[in-house]
Structure 1
């Protein structure tokens, strides 16, 4: 994914400063799903604090999904759907890796309808690179191009990259009550 995460805060005099900068933790591609990458950028509780030196909330996360009123930001790369799978592709290992790397979200994917999932959140998705289709119930599909923004209001959906290049999306999820 090669993205950097820069986090700001304040010094002891209250002046703004960069408190950490470096590669986006967890941004490396998935081992069992070639070309797919997903990294939790940041997460807030329902009542976030503006700490001078914020601790990394992405460490030891029990769920990438936010609590009601909390937020999660993720950067996701979807490989082209036509990309051939390795000969030794193991769907069970891919599902286990998804659940391990994206706890709380990985378990929401439907085994009988690959890629489909639903979360109790309002999601803002911005397509940064490539093209991708948003799939909804009954086969409804909408093609997104770079700069397009999707507001998901707790709907069941899947993402399909039918293009020839990776598609990269930024998601901000706000935990909601259904």
Structure 2
């Protein structure tokens, strides 16, 4: 784990049912969280995943183990917490090493990123994107941008986009990815 810039691993609390009563199934650090050595201050964490048709009560097995495919199948969901260091950090990293590390920890998602357009990517998902802390810019494929601040929500409908942290401190976001089918 990179200790050059302290990044908090998200706490995850999961509830369930035992003997007909609500119980805490787990409470602790997210199992699928990674602080990147190649990108100081960058964290990705797949907090939880559901099937396209989840069944209740949920299985008590780990729903988002490390190296799970991040991009969900149609109807399935993934919830992620991502800490974006300032763009000035991304500008100084070894991009090959960063890609190799991200390929291990965010499979499926990292392959959606375009090598010739840093940060730009498209997924077959509808995403609910919530700024938890800091501020970040959302850039679309035509260059249009909008500044997002703490508490702002974006509904990302399978469009080509990039997240840009033009500030001097990290930005933390929550992403709820819902797998979708793209019409051709």
**TM band (smaller chain):** over 0.9
Whether 1:3 aligns to 2:10 is yes
Q: Give SS of 2:160's match.
A: coil
How much does 1:140 deviate? 0.4
Q: Kindly tell me: are residues 14 and 158 of structure 1, through their superposed partners in 2, closer, same or farther at Cα, counting changes over 3 Å?
A: same
| Farther-moved stretch of structure 1 (143-152 vs 54-63) | 54-63
How much does 1:93 deviate? 1.2
1:94-125 Cα shifts (integer Å, max 9, x gaps): 10111110011011110000111000000000
Matches of 1:177 and 1:84, distance apart in 2:
32
Q: Is the 8 A contact 1:63 1:103 kept in 2?
A: yes
Q: Kindly tell me: are residues 63 and 52 of structure 1, through their superposed partners in 2, closer, same or farther at Cα, counting changes over 3 Å?
A: closer
Matches of 1:96 and 1:25, distance apart in 2:
20
| Farther-moved stretch of structure 1 (19-28 vs 140-149) | 19-28
Q: Give SS of 1:83's match.
A: helix
Q: Which residue pairs with 2:5 in the alignment? A: none
- Aligned length, in residue pairs: 175
56, 63, 75: which one pairs with 1:50? 56
Matches of 1:84 and 1:108, distance apart in 2:
18
What TM-score results when the alignment is normalised by the length of structure 1?
A: 0.92
Matches of 2:68 and 2:27, distance apart in 1:
24
> What RMSD in Å do the two structures reach over aligned CA positions?
1.6
Q: Is the 8 A contact 1:127 1:167 kept in 2?
A: yes
How much does 1:85 deviate? 6.0
94, 105, 109: which one pairs with 2:98? 94
What TM-score results when the alignment is normalised by the length of structure 2?
A: 0.90
Whether 1:71 aligns to 2:84 is no
Structure 1 spans left out of the alignment, 5+ residues: none
Whether 1:117 aligns to 2:121 is yes
Q: Which residue pairs with 2:4 in the alignment? A: none
Q: Which residue pairs with 2:158 in the alignment? A: 154
Q: Which residue pairs with 1:133 in the alignment? A: 137
Q: Kindly tell me: are residues 52 and 112 of structure 1, through their superposed partners in 2, closer, same or farther at Cα, counting changes over 3 Å?
A: closer
Q: Which residue pairs with 2:173 in the alignment? A: 169
Q: Kindly tell me: are residues 98 and 28 of structure 1, through their superposed partners in 2, closer, same or farther at Cα, counting changes over 3 Å?
A: closer
How much does 1:28 deviate? 3.7
